[in-house]
A and B are shown apart, each in its own frame.
Chain A
Amino acid sequence: MKLTLKIWRQKNKNAHGEMKTYQVDHISDDMSFLEMIDVLNEELVEKNDDPVAFDHDCREGICGMCSMVINGQPHGPGKGITTCQLHMREFNDGDTIYIEPFRADAFPIIKDLVVDRSAFDRIQQAGGFISVNTSGNTIDANAIPVPKENADTAFDSATCIGCGACVAACKNSSAILFVSAKVSQFALLPQGELERKERALKMVEQMDKEGFGSCTNIGDCAAECPKEISLENIARLNREYISATIKSK
Chain B
Amino acid sequence: MSSISIFLNSSVGKKVLMSLTGLFLMLFLVIHLLGNLQLLKHDDGYAFNTYAAFMTTNPLIKIVSWGTYFIIIIHAIRGISLERANRSNRTNKYVISNYHRSTHWTARKMGLLGAIILLFIVFHMSDFWWKYKFGETPWTKYTVELTTGNISSPEDVTGQGITKFTKYTDAANASEIVIAKDLYKKVVETFSNIFFVLFYAVSMLAIAFHLWHGFASSFQSLGINHKKYNPLIKGLGKAFSIIIPILFALIPIIMFFTHQ
- Residues of A contacting B42 in the complex (Cβ-Cβ under 8 angstroms): none
**Contact A213 B220, CB 8 Å, known A98-B95, A223-B101, A241-B12:** no
On whether the beta carbons of A238 and B110 are closer than 8 Å, the reply is no
Taking CB atoms, residues of chain B closer than 8 Å to A214 are 11, 14-15, 82, 85-86
With a CB–CB cut-off of 8 A, which chain B residues contact A237? 12
Q: Is B173 an interface residue (CB 8 A)?
A: no
Bound-state CA distance A105–B90 (Å) is: 5
**Complex CA distance for A25 and B95, rounded to whole angstroms:** 24
In contact, A72 and B99 (Cβ under 8 angstroms): yes
* A41 within 8 A of partner (CB): no
**Residue numbers in B under 8 Å from A223 (CB-CB):** 101-103
Q: Is B97 an interface residue (CB 8 A)?
A: yes
Count of B interface residues, CB-CB < 8 Å: 41
How far, in whole Å, are A217 and B211 apart by their CA atoms in the complex?
A: 13
Q: Is the CB of A215 within 8 A of B103?
A: no
Q: Please, what's the 1-or-0 string for A101-132, where 1 marks a CB less than 8 Å from any CB in chain B?
A: 00111100100000000000000000000000
Q: Are A213 and B85 also in contact (CB < 8 A) when A219-B107, A238-B221, A242-B16 are?
A: yes
- CA–CA, A14 to B101, complex, Å? 31
Q: Is the CB of A98 within 8 A of B96?
A: yes
Bitwise interface map of A from 198 to 225 toward B, beta carbon under 8 Å scored 1, else 0: 0000001101100111111111100100
- Chain A interface residue count, Cβ-Cβ cutoff 8 angstroms: 47
Contact A215 B108 (CB under 8 A): no
* Docked pose: A172 CA to B83 CA in angstroms: 8
Residue contact B99 to A238, C-beta cutoff 8 Å: no
Is the CB of A85 closer than 8 A to any CB of chain B?
no
**Is B217 at the interface (CB under 8 A from chain A)?**
yes
Q: Given A103-B92, A104-B89, A105-B90 in contact, is the A220-B101 Cβ separation under 8 Å?
A: yes
Name the one of B89, B102, B213 contacting A212, with C-beta atoms under 8 angstroms.
B89
A238 nearest in chain B by CB position:
B223
- Proximity string of chain B (68-98) to chain A, C-beta cutoff 8 Å, 1 when within and 0 when not: 0000000000000010011011111111111
Residues in B197-254 with C-beta less than 8 Å from chain A = 213, 217, 220-225, 227
Decide yes or no: A218 and B107 within 8 Å by CB, A105-B91, A208-B10, A235-B224 being known contacts.
yes
Is B147 positioned at the interface, with any CB of A under 8 Å from its CB? no
Point out the residues of chain A lying under 8 angstroms from B82, CB to CB: 214, 216
B117 → chain A, closest Cβ, in Å?
Answer: 16
Contact of B96 with A100 in the complex, beta carbons under 8 Å: yes
In the complex, whether B3 has a CB less than 8 A from a CB of chain A is: yes
B 1-33 binary contact with A (CB < 8 Å = 1; else 0): 001101100111111100000000000000000
Q: Which of A73, A104, A231 contacts B220 (CB 8 A)?
A: A231
Q: Of A105, A220, A235, which is in contact with the most chain B CB atoms at under 10 Å from its CB?
A: A235
Interchain CB contact under 8 A, B220 and A245: no
Can you name the residue of chain A whose Cβ is closest to the Cβ of B3?
A: A248
A69 touches B103 (CB 8 A): no
CA distance A217 to B79 in the complex (A): 14
Evaluate whether A103 and B103 lie within 8 angstroms (CB atoms) in the complex, with A216-B15, A235-B223, A238-B220 already known: no
A220 and B11 CA atoms in complex are apart in Å by 17
A211 adjacent to B96 (CB under 8 Å): no
State which of A6, A72, A213, A220 has its C-beta within 8 Å of the C-beta of B94.
A72
Most A CB within 10 A of own CB, among B15, B85, B92:
B92
CB distance from A188 to the nearest CB of B (A): 14
User: Hey, which chain B residues are within 8 Å of A69, CB to CB?
Assistant: 94, 96
A32 at the interface (CB under 8 A from B): no
Look across to chain A and name the residue whose beta carbon is closest to the beta carbon of B4.
Answer: A245
- B95:A100 contact, CB within 8 angstroms: yes
Q: List 26 A-B contacts (CB under 8 A).
A: A69-B96, A71-B96, A72-B99, A98-B96, A100-B96, A104-B89, A172-B86, A172-B89, A173-B90, A174-B11, A176-B11, A204-B11, A204-B12, A208-B11, A213-B11, A217-B220, A219-B107, A223-B101, A231-B225, A232-B227, A235-B224, A238-B15, A239-B223, A242-B16, A245-B4, A248-B3
A residues near B (Cβ < 8 Å) are: 6, 8, 17, 19, 69, 71-73, 98, 100, 103-106, 109, 171-174, 176, 204-205, 207-208, 211-220, 223, 231-232, 234-239, 241-242, 245, 248
Chain B interfacial positions (CB closer than 8 Å to A): 3-4, 6-7, 10-16, 82, 85-86, 88-99, 101-103, 107-108, 110, 213, 217, 220-225, 227
Q: Which 5 A-B pairs have the closest CB atoms?
A: A72-B99, A235-B225, A239-B223, A172-B86, A72-B96
